Structure 1
Amino acid sequence: MKEHPHTEETQADAEPRVSASELERARILDACERKDIDKLKDIAIAPGGFLSDHLRSRSWPILLGFDAGVVSDISKDVSNSWTHLPRHRDEEQVKLDVDRSFVYYPNDNSQAQLEGKKAELSDLITQVLRQQPYLCYFQGYHDICQVLLLVLPASLRTLAVSRLSVLRIRDFMLPTLAPAIVQLRLIPDLLHAVDPGLCAHLSRNEPYFALSDTLTMFAHNVQRYSDIARLFDALIAREQVFSIYVFTQIVLRRRDELLEHEEPDMLHFALSKLPPDLDLDAVIAEAARLFDKHPPESLRSWRRISSASVLKTTRDVKALGRQSLQDGHDFFDRQVRELRWAERRQKIARVAWANRTLLFTLLVGVSAIYLRKTPAWAGLLAWTARLVSRS
């Protein structure tokens, strides 16, 4: 009987092959099924992230610390009771910002469809703020919420935005942006560790140029929906501080361009705009390597970050799943107390400096009495008082 040497190969070829994308999809679904945070973190850094909005709807809730299935069932029985809650103090600003939303995407919707999405966005933000009335709205918050609205089904949006707001971007929703400014100090520290020359060149500008991107999770400046959804995969899967590493890595990739700018104003303008042709997969992978090589604890400004800051309370992504909205509220209250105490210290210091001559005169008098008018000490204090009065 004549053999057919290619029979086995022909049979193998006849079997359906599983594509790489199908294997990756199965890998994501398996990680979601097992709620494997570590695996989801790895996938979020890999090229393509979670690949599709359907898979993001499965992954993001797990990373934000809630069970999508339970929330979906509950939401069917929940009425619009939030509409009867007291108005939030920032609702007028919310309306102004929502009117300016959906500028870049989606770009295949009719005007009527866009108006419908704006109404949904307004309700989403208003509901979250009324249910967490202590939070302070900031301009650009609507950009973040817009992404979650487009990615997630309606039943998951409110809890996703609430947990993101209270547990991930809480520092930006305090009564002042001072904690957000403190976070920006980590950027020069990172740049100095990697590229001291570029750091020195940029040091003529305060790192305020990074505020818009870090504040809005890059949603304000990234113009393609596929790009911002993919970037959110990494930002939601990783520690909150990871956005600092992403911004720093973008700066490092633009080294030659930035060194060409000598004027501080032009440099600030260039840094505050993202280049349109960013290779986000490469940026994210490089930022992850930068994070591993220079963890936040190695940066000088890390010690200035409050222990109640989201940068430290989400340092372990798994901890997020164990934190409740009440935990976030408690952290918020701690940060507010710290801010008020810092403001009081600054006020006392300003008053003391403004009245330094009077205070020093009193010090001289008290010291003279205490030292029993010792001529040498009295003379020294009098000379110091005259010196202070001239300053």
Structure 2
Amino acid sequence: MAAVKNSRHAEETPADAVSHVSVIKSKEDRIIDACKRKDIDELRDIAIASGGFLSDHLRSRAWPILLGSDADTTPDDESWRHLPRHRDEDQVKLDVDRSFVYYPNDNTQAQLEEKKSELSDLITQVLREQPYLCYFQGYHDICQVLLLALPPSLRGIAMSRLSVLRIRDFMLPTLAPAIAQLHLIPDLLGAVDAELWHHLSRNEPFFALADTLTMFAHNVQRYSDIARLFDALIAREQVFCLYVFTRIVLRRRAELLSHEEPDMLHFALSKLPPNLDLDAVIPEAARLFETHPPESLRAWRYISAASVLKTTRDVGALTRQSLRDGQVFFEKQVREMWWDEHRQKVTKVAWANRTLLLTILVGVSAIYLRKTSTWAGLVTWISRLGGG
């Protein structure tokens, strides 16, 4: 035991400590330089590498650039308080009351209450300024992370741009577009591990909803982990969240294959492992993205062109999008959803009344077409089809 202790002590030499400090300082300088130059590509690379942006001080410089909000601050603007109430504010209050469960864990009760008040203000500001957005349970988990990482003057515009331009699909009138995104996960699993995909295919991918909906903020219990994960998620395309989830699933291969019951499998998939090695998972997800880009996945063709998955495909272009652009995309998706719902209703009614419709078709057609033996045979076939 003494030998082991001495060996460990020998590994932690002053030279090693100095070298570690030097590496950190070098990366800090690299982040600051990339922020000064607003080099999106460099920031993307840094966010994937070990440690991400290292600290909240550096995140407060990098995140606004990646979100395109660095040119705007709202230090003393309280005008949102005089805007009409958003229809979802009662639900916001319920969620805020149960916020900050896992972190920060070094605050007094009075400090936590102050943070809850700030969180309520942040969410309310975003919703009143963008009243077309629909609040969803779990949105407060995302807002918590930005509130803790960013100073007050940067939070409002950063959260607005994140909401309208990055997670807009989750703030539509229904979660149908969010659920459509989940079908990219089975496609990814099938491309990488056919056995695991077949094993999981007994379950619809709804098990990924809580994590993808909240950018993992609902289930990750350490602030250092979720802040580091947000580095990558904010720096990359919105679809990257699905790649991270898939890599976590692939890392749990043996555990998941051991579950035979669909209910147990769904429960296991709905919970993240307690100790995520994010510095390994994130680069693995980036490599998975390179080898199997979203355009190669079957479900990609069913994703709306107005979805955040496609409008954020170029992070550089995202930084140039305006909140008004996001609202236009939102309205386009709402119209698509309405037409799709209308089409499904019409199809359902038509199928339920197919016998009557076919009878009318046959009757009208008979007026204009001569009743040859060929036509009579066709009529008989159509009649049988309608009766089936």
User: Under TM normalisation by the shorter chain, which class is it?
Assistant: over 0.9
Q: How far apart, in 2, do the equivalents of 1:57 and 1:132 lie?
A: 23
2:4 counterpart residue number: none
1:97 corresponds to 2:95: yes
2:26 counterpart residue number: 23
Per the TM alignment, residue 384 of structure 1 is displaced from its structure 2 partner at its CA by: 3.0
Of 58, 61, 85 in structure 1, the residue corresponding to residue 64 of structure 2 is 61
For 1:29-68, what aligned pairs fall within 5 Å after superposition? 29-67=32-70
Aligned residues with identical type, % of pairs = 78
Counterpart contact for 1:41–1:234, Cα < 8 Å? yes
* CA distances 1:325-344 after superposition (whole Å, capped 9, x unpaired): 00000010111111111011
Runs ≥4 residues deviating over 4 A: none
For 1:144-163, what aligned pairs fall within 5 Å after superposition? 144-163=142-161
Q: How far apart, in 1, do the equivalents of 2:59 and 2:374 lie?
A: 77
2:293 counterpart residue number: 295
The letter for the 1-side match of 2:194 is: P
Q: How far apart, in 2, do the equivalents of 1:147 and 1:141 lie?
A: 11
2:322 counterpart residue number: 324
Per the TM alignment, residue 65 of structure 1 is displaced from its structure 2 partner at its CA by: 0.6
Q: How far apart, in 1, do the equivalents of 2:379 and 2:104 lie?
A: 72
The letter for the 1-side match of 2:214 is: T
* CA distances 1:263-295 after superposition (whole Å, capped 9, x unpaired): 111000000100001101100010000001101
Q: How far apart, in 2, do the equivalents of 1:296 and 1:309 lie?
A: 13
Per the TM alignment, residue 360 of structure 1 is displaced from its structure 2 partner at its CA by: 0.8
Pairwise CA RMSD of aligned residues?
Answer: 1.4
Structure 1, unaligned runs of 5 or more: 1-12
Counterpart contact for 2:169–2:307, Cα < 8 Å? yes
Counterpart contact for 2:75–2:152, Cα < 8 Å? no
* CA distances 1:345-383 after superposition (whole Å, capped 9, x unpaired): 101000001111100111111222232233432343134
Counterpart contact for 1:174–1:332, Cα < 8 Å? yes
For 1:1-391, what aligned pairs fall within 5 Å after superposition? 19-67=22-70, 70-72=71-73, 75-78=74-77, 80-389=78-387, 391=388
Change (3 A) 1:117 1:77: closer
What is the SS of the residue equivalent to 2:319? helix
The letter for the 2-side match of 1:238 is: R
Per the TM alignment, residue 71 of structure 1 is displaced from its structure 2 partner at its CA by: 2.9
Counterpart contact for 1:364–1:378, Cα < 8 Å? no
The letter for the 2-side match of 1:190 is: L
Change (3 A) 1:262 1:318: same
Q: How far apart, in 2, do the equivalents of 1:383 and 1:119 lie?
A: 69
* CA distances 1:86-118 after superposition (whole Å, capped 9, x unpaired): 110111111111111000000001111111111
Q: How far apart, in 1, do the equivalents of 2:362 and 2:270 lie?
A: 52
2:5 counterpart residue number: none
What is the SS of the residue equivalent to 1:19? helix
What is the SS of the residue equivalent to 2:133? coil
Q: How far apart, in 2, do the equivalents of 1:383 and 1:58 lie?
A: 70
* CA distances 1:206-248 after superposition (whole Å, capped 9, x unpaired): 0000000000000000000000000000000000000000000
Q: How far apart, in 1, do the equivalents of 2:163 and 2:217 lie?
A: 15
Per the TM alignment, residue 319 of structure 1 is displaced from its structure 2 partner at its CA by: 0.5
Q: How far apart, in 1, do the equivalents of 2:290 and 2:276 lie?
A: 22
Taking structure 1 as the reference length, the TM-score comes to: 0.93
Counterpart contact for 1:221–1:273, Cα < 8 Å? yes
Q: How far apart, in 1, do the equivalents of 2:372 and 2:362 lie?
A: 12
Taking structure 2 as the reference length, the TM-score comes to: 0.93
Q: How far apart, in 2, do the equivalents of 1:186 and 1:388 lie?
A: 37
What is the SS of the residue equivalent to 2:25? helix
